[in-house]
Amino acid sequence: MSFTRRSLLAAFAGLPFAPSALASAQTVGLGELAARSGRYFGSAVTRDDVSDAGPHLRLFDGECSVWVPTWQMKWGALVPTLGDVPDYRACDAIVASAAKRGKRLRGHALIWHEHLPAGAERLSTAADWRRFVAPHITAVAGRYRDAVFEWDVVNEAIEPYDGGADFMRRTPFYAMLGSDYVAEAFRLAEEAAPLARLYLNDDHLYYAEEWQERRRAGMLGLLERLLKAGVPIHGLGMQCHLDTRLHFDDSVFRRFLKRIEDLGLNISITELDVTEAPNARGRSISRRRLRAAAEAEKVLSVAFDSPALAGVVTWGLSDDDSWLRNRGPDMVDNQGLPYDDAYRSAPLRDTLASLFASTQTRHPT
């Protein structure tokens, strides 16, 4: 690609030295590059990222065709305590900003065992589901039925370490309906938002480690059961929180993707970032950024070969805002996103650009 750090700064940051006409001719946003290859590119966003007064709006606008609220659509964000009236203000602000700028929205997530309303961890019966969970799904999916083109209906349903023969995570949702909660959630989502593409979303499905093999088996089993039962499900979201410490074998990942493709499902990469800090000792920051980009390239180049890959979303654009940095004392300077702390483009951005530029999908977005 022919853009330079200077041209990106010029196009997106609007700095005084910007040679702006040249910059805009040279710079094509990742969303635009993705669209040319029949896919989408997006980022998780906060309300500040996309507000008219936000300092980085031009970056999120210029780079993305899709936005995903990082936090604001989660149940506990809308309803801090079980029984509260939902507060949609932050979410509505993101939806309005997206509409104004022609962005498509991925909804994340209707059902997740983390960040629940206080009190929801005690829900355990089918009556609780009917009283609290079903109305939540119906209300949120319904409110945003014209705004959200793709929903993560259930996030992180698989956890072999919880000990179930079905490898499903034991959550309050599981306590309420057993494994049927997933099918029920999808049926409710479809009723409320009939045009949206409905996804199961999960992590740790890419590396050759044995524990990830069990997660792949659990996920395939669940997807097969849902499809056999006629549940309206259209895709698998792979979070892709990658990690340079894990062992990757492209044939293992390719085989898994082929199985998903053969089920007729879409595949999306929904939360891309790279953990590289814990084993970065002795490496310069620029080498660390290159290493993060190489890690993503390794995994994504296999995913990009799949005609089922609908798009890629990164979990934020700049390392400065990355959730990974709060994940422990050895993560505070992690370098795992397409832009560095000063919102300058990093090698991972180039990697994404060349992947989009060099591949095509047959899959309609």
Cα separations (Å) of 249 from 186, 212, 254? 32, 12, 9
| E-assigned strand segments in the chain | 40-45, 66-69, 104-111, 148-155, 197-202, 235-238, 241-243, 266-275, 309-314
Residue 109, preceding bond cis, omega within 30 degrees?
A: yes
What phi, psi does 81 have (nearest 5°)?
-125, 135
Task: Name the residue number minimizing CB distance to ligand XIL.
Answer: 323
Q: How far is the CB of 323 from ligand XIL (least distance, A)?
A: 3
For the window 263-282, what string marks contact with ligand XIL as x by the rule CB under 6 A? Answer: --------x-----------
Q: How far is the CB of 46 from ligand XIL (least distance, A)?
A: 8
In terms of DSSP bridges, do strands 148-155 and 309-314 run parallel, antiparallel, or are they unpaired?
unpaired
Residue (11 or 189) nearer to ligand XIL, CB: 189
Among the listed residues 27, 65, 155, 351, the single contact to ligand XIL using CB under 6 A: 155
Residue (11 or 222) nearer to ligand XIL, CB: 222
Q: Is 321 in the site for ligand XIL (CB under 6 A)?
A: no
Smallest CA-to-CA distance from 171 within 215, 205, 121 is with 121
Positions in 47-106 near ligand XIL (CB under 6 A): 70-71
CA distance 273 to 336: 5
Among the listed residues 88, 149, 248, 323, the single contact to ligand XIL using CB under 6 A: 323
Residue (7 or 155) nearer to ligand XIL, CB: 155
Q: How far is the CB of 170 from ligand XIL (least distance, A)?
A: 18
Residue (151 or 356) nearer to ligand XIL, CB: 151
The footprint of ligand XIL on this chain (CB under 6 A) covers a number of residues equal to 6
Rg (CA), the chain: 20
Among the listed residues 27, 97, 212, 239, the single contact to ligand XIL using CB under 6 A: 239
Q: How far is the CB of 239 from ligand XIL (least distance, A)?
A: 6
CA distance 318 to 320: 5
Collapse the DSSP code of 140 into the 3-class scheme (helix H, G, I; strand E, B; otherwise coil) and give the result.
helix
Q: How far is the CB of 109 from ligand XIL (least distance, A)?
A: 6
Residue (71 or 88) nearer to ligand XIL, CB: 71
CB 49 within 8 A of CB 56: yes
Residue (7 or 268) nearer to ligand XIL, CB: 268
Residue (199 or 253) nearer to ligand XIL, CB: 199
CB 189 within 8 A of CB 153: yes
CA distance 75 to 69: 12
Residues of this chain that bind ligand XIL (CB under 6 A): 70-71, 155, 239, 271, 323
